[in-house]
Amino acid sequence: MTSPPAVRTEALSCRFGEIQAVDEVSLEIPHGAVFGLLGPDGAGKSTLIRMLATVQRASSGDAFVFGSSVTREPHRVTPRLGYMSQRFSMYPDLTVAENIDFFATLRGVPRAERLTRAASLLTSMGLAEFAGRQAGRLSGGMKQKLTLAVTLMHQPDLLLLDEPTTGVDPVARREFWRILAGLHRGGTTVLVSTPYMDEAERCTDVAFMEAGQIRHRGSPQQIKQLVPGTLLEVAAENPREALAVVRRAPQATSVHLYGDLVRVLWASGADVKELDRWLSGQGLTATVRPIVVDMETAFAFLADVGVGGGEPR
Amino acid sequence: MSWDPEALRGTPVNPDAAISVRGLTKRFGDFSAVDGIDVDVPRGQVFGFLGPNGSGKTTTIRMLTGTIAPQAGQALVLGEDVIRHPERAKRRIGYMSQKFALFEDLTVDENLRFYAGVYDLPPERFAAQRRYVLEMADLIGRENELTANLSVGWRQRLALGAATIHDPELLFLDEPTGGVDPVARRQFWDLLYDLASRGVTLFVTTHYMDEATHCNRLAFIYRGRLIAEGSPQQIRRDFISQRILEVSVGDPDAALQWLEQAEGVAEAYLSGASLHAVIGSGAQGRDELAPWLTGRMREAGFADVRAVEVDPTIEDVFVNLVSRQP
Ligand SMILES: Nc1ncnc2c1ncn2[C@@H]1O[C@H](COP(=O)(O)OP(=O)(O)OP(=O)(O)O)[C@@H](O)[C@H]1O
Ligand SMILES: [Mg+2]
């Protein structure tokens, strides 16, 4: 007999009054996946994660974590979970070290392991020198890092992470993903929601959620292949001006600013050289180069399609 | 390096700048959260304030908005001395704090009304500003909705509206787009550009490095001290000396592990869908960097590898600046 997947949901739904936050989601997450949950704000990602974490009741449907039902046997689910919510906060009057120790004790991490693991996590999160500071006196991002450290103290079979890196600086974000990669190699299954598309690239599987439903799922590679046409990057002296000019080109299906570069999705079949001609025809000097579609582009494209194919403003 | 951290030290504060600061210092006990910073922010600019977690960004903003008092230094905000007279500039500045400054149990309209009250806006000015803000934030028709029911992206726009209800000349934004999805983030920056084009000075912190590129000027703070300042172009040119290869490969995770161990590679990380390999000092002088690396990677089994040398991004500089510090 094959072992059940890490997560399987069956028409899982959650309704708050008028709002259908999660709408009959049927989803499977294989063992050992790093599964990224993407989608616009308010798509229902947190609610879906909260149901898997057994802290939110489903209105209908069910979900199974390693084969156990979250609605009927939550006591079998929770010991295998690590859950980091957007709202969780530490005890502000306990120090960094005390908070870590307190929560690790709750999760039954043995003392010797607690000490070594805490030390290594604090170091990689850049918090080592602040171990004695009260949690309430940390900066916003440092609090978030402390929450990460607490979540990673025990090594559960399934990690549920709801926007773990919001407010975390780029260097620490990298460290965090290095730790996740290590857990992944050790066999942990990870479900993570994130607004950072560079993090989505690092997932083995992603799902794009909108209005309570999973609209697309696949490897990042497969999701990116949903984007039709060629992605072109335009570098110009005045990017805002270039943006306006490019937006008027008939072959441009989606145009936006990324940093100080203009990114254009050029209709499939249309000649890429046309953009050069269009730009010079409009009196603009700029260099154009084709680039690989990344998750940032895919996200914007999928979000656009979802709202009826409209252009982003 | 063309930036001189001492250039402003000891010079008089500049009353024409939107913000002018000398030797600004904030200690909590014996810990210096902000440690003698000197900076001038010209009027009408979008000024990005970057730095790792806990480096002193929020603390600086709290001093500049007159929320907390420094132990030492001078600070002019819109020409007013915020240390001696913290109340004077208050009506001319707006502040969107890192934590939400909105009442979740109030409606959209009630939140705006609350802020209008804070700034003592006369009714006719409130009516006009309210209309402008609702239009800007695209909240027309949702005036009576409970703030708690708005998604993160909408709430951020409302918070921006609340922070600008009194039409300030200078706006402090502390991580305004934290946790906001990529599309809503772009729309939010369109709003910021709109404000900037009307002459409002913006002082913004962010951990999204693509947003940093949207700023006219950037400053990096590290452990309470400024370690770099300039336009995004200057920062990318002057604050990183190492060359960078952009590596595209089918299995980036395996390639990353390989690159992290590879001789001649100082650092490697994901950047968008590709990898960035920062070339170590030993190999810096090579002419043909890309073939040198791809050759070795092919031998190691990465048959589909491609590499090009690229200009550093702001993110490259950020990582580099931080890892270079003692
Ligand atoms: N009331 C306080 N008591 C003690 N230390 C404090 C207090 N407020 C802030 N600090 C410390 O000052 C330092 C700077 O904090 P600050 O909030 O300014 O950082 P930040 O750059 O805004 O970081 P982030 O990117 O995480 O928001 C941190 O080490 C923080 O712990
Ligand atoms: Mg802060």
Q: pLDDT tens digits for B167-221?
A: 999 999 999 998 888 888 988 998 998 899 899 999 999 999 989 988 999 999 9
**Average model confidence (pLDDT) across chain B:** 91
As a three-state string, the secondary structure of B209-259 is HHHHCCCCEEEEEECCEEEEEECHHHHHHHCCCCCEEEEECCCHHHHHHHH
pLDDT score recorded for residue A309: 37
Contact A181 B253 (CB under 8 A): yes
Domain covering B241-324: architecture:
2-Layer Sandwich (3.30)
Cβ atoms of B55 and B223 closer than 8 Å: yes
- A305 belongs to a structural domain: no
Spans of all domains in chain B? 41-69+86-237, 241-324
Closest ligand to Cα B206: 1
Say whether residue A181 is in contact with chain B using an 8 A CB cutoff: yes
Span of A51-55, A138-142, B98-102, B314-318 with lowest mean pLDDT = B98-102
Whether residue B326 is predicted with pLDDT greater than 80 in this model: the reply is: no
CA distance B276 to B293: 12
A276 and A199 belong to one structural domain:
no
A206 and A238 belong to one structural domain:
no
Chain A contacts of B183, Cβ < 8 Å? Answer: 40, 299-300, 303-304, 312
Cβ atoms of B274 and A202 closer than 8 Å: no
A115 and A208 belong to one structural domain:
yes
- A184 belongs to a structural domain: yes
Nearest to A52 by CA among A88, A19, A8: A8
How distant is the Cα of B321 from the closest Cα of chain A, in angstroms? Answer: 10
Q: Mark which residues 57-116 of A lie under 8 Å from B by CB.
A: 86
Nearest to A259 by CA among B150, B242, B77, B315: B315
A197 and A55 belong to one structural domain:
yes
Same fold, B41-69+86-237 and B241-324: no
- A30 belongs to a structural domain: yes
Report the CATH number that the domain containing residue A244 is assigned in CATH.
Answer: 3.30.70.100
> Among A34, A41, A47, A145, which would you mutate to test the B interface (most chain B Cβ atoms within 10 Å of its Cβ)?
A41
Count of domains forming chain A: 2
Does domain B41-69+86-237 bear CATH number 3.90.580.10?
no
A131 and A260 belong to one structural domain:
no
Q: pLDDT tens digits for B44-92?
A: 999 999 999 999 999 999 999 999 999 999 999 999 999 999 999 989 9
A272 and A155 belong to one structural domain:
no
CA distance B76 to B13: 7
Nearest to A43 by CA among A184, A161, A212: A212
Which residue, by CA, sits nearest to atom 27 of ligand 1? Answer: A140
Q: pLDDT tens digits for A9-40?
A: 999 999 998 889 999 999 999 999 999 999 99
Q: Which atom of ligand 1 is nearest to the CA of B59?
A: 18
Contact B323 A171 (CB under 8 A): yes
How distant is the Cα of A223 from the closest Cα of chain B, in angstroms? Answer: 12
A144 Cα–ligand 2 center, Å: 11
pLDDT score recorded for residue B1: 54
Q: pLDDT tens digits for B127-157?
A: 999 998 898 888 899 999 998 888 888 888 8
Comparing CB atoms, the residue among A140, A166, A312 nearest residue B186 is A312
Q: Mark which residues 271-310 of A lie under 8 Å from B by CB.
A: 292-296, 299-300, 303-304
A214 and A253 belong to one structural domain:
no
Q: Domain residues for A32?
A: 7-219
Whether residue B303 is predicted with pLDDT greater than 60 in this model: the reply is: yes
A117 and A250 belong to one structural domain:
no
Report the CATH number that the domain containing residue A184 is assigned in CATH.
Answer: 3.40.50.300
Give chain B's radius of gyration (CA, Å). Answer: 23
Does B25 or A307 have the greater pLDDT score? Answer: B25
- A300 belongs to a structural domain: no
Chain A contacts of B189, Cβ < 8 Å? Answer: 257
Half-sphere exposure in the Cβ direction for B280 (13 Å, CA): 12
Whether residue B6 is predicted with pLDDT greater than 90 in this model: the reply is: no
Which value does ipTM take for this structure?
0.90
pLDDT score recorded for residue B84: 94
A273 and A136 belong to one structural domain:
no
Q: pLDDT tens digits for B243-255?
A: 999 999 988 888 9
Domain termination site, one of A189, A219, A249 = A219
The strands making up B31-41's β-sheet, listed across from edge to edge, are B31-41, B19-28, B72-77, B80-81
- A310 belongs to a structural domain: no
B67 Cα–ligand 2 center, Å: 14
A197 and A239 belong to one structural domain:
no
Residue of A nearest to B176 (CA): A167
B237 Cα–ligand 1 center, Å: 30
- A306 belongs to a structural domain: no
Task: Per-residue pLDDT tens, chain A, 313 aa: give them.
Answer: 578 899 999 999 999 988 899 999 999 999 999 999 999 988 999 999 999 999 999 999 999 999 999 999 999 999 999 999 877 678 999 999 999 999 999 888 999 999 999 999 998 888 999 999 999 999 989 999 999 899 988 889 999 999 999 999 998 898 888 888 888 988 999 999 999 999 999 999 999 999 999 999 999 999 999 998 889 999 998 888 899 999 999 989 888 888 788 999 988 777 778 898 999 999 999 999 888 888 988 998 888 765 433 333 3
CA A270 to chain centre: 33
A198 and A77 belong to one structural domain:
yes
- A311 belongs to a structural domain: no
- A307 belongs to a structural domain: no
Contact B214 A163 (CB under 8 A): no
Between CA B119 and CA B123, with CA B122 as vertex, the angle to 5 degrees is: 120
Beta bridge partners of A14: A22
**Ligand 1, pocket residues at CB < 6 Å:** A 137-142, 169; B 28, 31, 33, 51, 53-59, 98
